[in-house]
Chain A
Amino acid sequence: MKISVMLEQLSSGMLVSVEIFLLTLLFSLPLGLLVTFGRRSKNRILSSAVKFYIAIMRGTPLMLQLIVVYFAPFYVFGLTINGFRFPAIIIAFSINYAAYFAEIYRGGIEAIPKGQYEAAQVLGYNRVQTFFRIIFPQVIRIILPSVTNETITLVKDTSLAFVLAQAEMFTIAKQIAAKEASVGPLMVAGVFYFVFNYVVAFIMERIEKKLNYY
């Protein structure tokens, strides 16, 4: 196989990997915030339920979660959904990463001194204003290094989508490698993940610098 053909096939996989990455971030970052709110809720039932959800998400392999989400409609509801493969991957990744992000948010929120809430209260901020204007911007700066870590892990985790035979980067690399009896495609895949993460780390570093204005 010519290198150019191999690269062409791999590049379609790259695109899928990037899509999984971006869509997961898009959904899991806000979802994680909701999960944190549930975890911190004064409602015991809600906070226990959310705690259980986080425990499951963190305590079982993401690969297994991918399989469960993909087959759940059929085995639980008897439904066959066409083209569910990609949505299932995005759902599984999003609810998994939301659990991790939720715990990162929680750590950040708990690091904000009580005095910030008190000052906001005395100055007439309501609860929503207090959270989004005073607390959350400070939380972001605190948690950014942890979020970067998690984001870099996500880049590599996208390769787990192979378990559902999604044609992302790693799946294709493996197929070509098997067919050609060569590790070359896997090495190319490795370079791809490395470069991808290099870019992610670079962007996150820029954001961190930008938030370091105070």
Chain B
Amino acid sequence: MDNNTLLEIRNMRKSFGEKEVLKDISLTVERGEVVSIIGPSGSGKSTALRCATLLERMDGGSLIYEGHVAASDESGTITYADKQQLKKIRNYFGLVFQSFNLFPHYSVLKNITEPVVLSGRADKAEAAKWAVSLLRRLGLEDKADAYPGSLSGGQKQRVSIARALAMQPDVLFFDEPTSALDPELTGEVLRVIKTLATDHMTMVIVTHEMKFAREVSDRIIFMEHGVIHSQGTPEELFNSNDERLNAFIGKLESV
């Protein structure tokens, strides 16, 4: 593994009761890379993301961020790193949720600044400066004092992107960032993500937006039944002869 590998997942496995959701997922993400994960519902893509972001415990496999082992099953059973190490590892990544999960009792500004201040990245004044410049970049400069409840879905999602960016993660995960939005609002969120891609932000995006995935990704991963069915550049995948893949892409594009 070289210095540019930000994330390495080896043989990730996860079951919910009897149901094996992830069978054997291996994946590396390089610095500056934009990786999209597509696949039908129930294929395990969101679960994979949740395991990678430590929201779910995997049952087997290894999870390594920038050479720091978060979890490994090399000894036979899976062991997670201790609390301190996991806390440190959480600094490497950010996550944008499908349902935003903004803190409703905080203003937009405080949503962004409090995690920054609590983590010791900056003091209150400096954090506020970052937040304001991020909000400006995302076209929300007039919303700093607003509460999430007064924002549209698209604005909420942009705030949650700003909140994640303020923590200066090395890799940013998106879990279906536009699935909870009305169609006319998805554009503003996708545009923001595209801008980030242009700035070489490393991103892993679970999405149903095929056109977007095709435009923005360096690599697309197609998941089905808990395994990576195929992966490659957008050209490779969209020009593939694979029946299942074509069926899936065709179904979504015809909508």
A contact set with B: CB distance below 8 Å: 113, 115-116, 118-126, 129, 133-134, 137-138, 141, 213-214
* Residue pair B99, A124 in contact (C-beta under 8 Å): no
Q: Which of A122, A124, A125, A137 contacts B105 (CB 8 A)?
A: A137
* Residue pair A122, B55 in contact (C-beta under 8 Å): yes
B118 at the A interface (CB under 8 A): yes
User: What residues on A are CB-neighbors of B152 within 8 Å?
Assistant: none
B contact set with A: CB distance below 8 Å: 53-55, 87, 90-91, 93-95, 97, 99, 101-105, 114-115, 118-119, 147-149, 163, 167
- Shortest A26–chain B CB gap in Å is 25
Can you name 8 A-B residue pairings with CB atoms under 8 Å?
Answer: A120-B103, A122-B54, A122-B93, A124-B115, A124-B167, A129-B118, A133-B114, A214-B147
- Shortest B105–chain A CB gap in Å is 5
- Shortest A143–chain B CB gap in Å is 14
Interface core residue of A115, A119, A120, A138 (most chain B CB under 10 Å): A119
User: What residues on A are CB-neighbors of B115 within 8 Å?
Assistant: 123-125
How far is B114's CA from A187's CA once the two chains are assembled, in angstroms? 54
User: What residues on B are CB-neighbors of A123 within 8 Å?
Assistant: 115, 119, 163, 167
User: What residues on B are CB-neighbors of A134 within 8 Å?
Assistant: 103
* Residue pair A115, B99 in contact (C-beta under 8 Å): yes
Q: Which 3 A-B pairs have the closest CB atoms?
A: A119-B101, A123-B115, A115-B101
* Residue pair B103, A116 in contact (C-beta under 8 Å): yes
User: What residues on B are CB-neighbors of A124 within 8 Å?
Assistant: 87, 90-91, 115, 118-119, 167
- Shortest B172–chain A CB gap in Å is 11
How far is B103's CA from A125's CA once the two chains are assembled, in angstroms? 13
User: What residues on A are CB-neighbors of B119 within 8 Å?
Assistant: 123-124
How far is B119's CA from A129's CA once the two chains are assembled, in angstroms? 11
* Residue pair A125, B97 in contact (C-beta under 8 Å): no
How far is B40's CA from A177's CA once the two chains are assembled, in angstroms? 78
Q: Which of A119, A126, A141, A213 contacts B97 (CB 8 A)?
A: A119
* Residue pair B103, A213 in contact (C-beta under 8 Å): no
User: What residues on B are CB-neighbors of A122 within 8 Å?
Assistant: 53-55, 90, 93-95
- Shortest A125–chain B CB gap in Å is 7
User: What residues on A are CB-neighbors of B167 within 8 Å?
Assistant: 123-124
Determine the residue in chain A with the shortest Cβ distance to B148: A214
With known contacts A116-B103, A137-B105, A125–B95 Cβ distance under 8 A = no
Interface core residue of A116, A120, A124, A126 (most chain B CB under 10 Å): A124
User: What residues on A are CB-neighbors of B149 within 8 Å?
Assistant: 214
How far is B102's CA from A126's CA once the two chains are assembled, in angstroms? 17
Determine the residue in chain B with the shortest Cβ distance to A213: B147
Known contacts A126-B87, A214-B149; 13 additional CB pairs below 8 A are: A115-B99, A116-B101, A121-B55, A122-B53, A122-B55, A122-B90, A123-B115, A123-B119, A124-B90, A124-B115, A213-B147, A214-B105, A214-B147
How far is B87's CA from A119's CA once the two chains are assembled, in angstroms? 14
User: What residues on A are CB-neighbors of B54 within 8 Å?
Assistant: 121-122
Q: Which of A119, A126, A141 contacts B103 (CB 8 A)?
A: A119
How far is B99's CA from A137's CA once the two chains are assembled, in angstroms? 20
Determine the residue in chain B with the shortest Cβ distance to A214: B147
How far is B102's CA from A133's CA once the two chains are assembled, in angstroms? 13
- Shortest B66–chain A CB gap in Å is 17
Interface core residue of B55, B90, B103, B118 (most chain A CB under 10 Å): B103
- Shortest B55–chain A CB gap in Å is 5
- Shortest B52–chain A CB gap in Å is 11
How far is B55's CA from A124's CA once the two chains are assembled, in angstroms? 12
With known contacts A118-B101, A119-B103, A214-B105, A125–B147 Cβ distance under 8 A = no
User: What residues on B are CB-neighbors of A214 within 8 Å?
Assistant: 104-105, 147-149
* Residue pair A115, B97 in contact (C-beta under 8 Å): yes
- Shortest A51–chain B CB gap in Å is 27
Interface core residue of A120, A122, A129, A134 (most chain B CB under 10 Å): A122
- Shortest A158–chain B CB gap in Å is 33
Determine the residue in chain B with the shortest Cβ distance to A211: B105
Determine the residue in chain B with the shortest Cβ distance to A119: B101
How far is B54's CA from A125's CA once the two chains are assembled, in angstroms? 14
How far is B90's CA from A112's CA once the two chains are assembled, in angstroms? 23
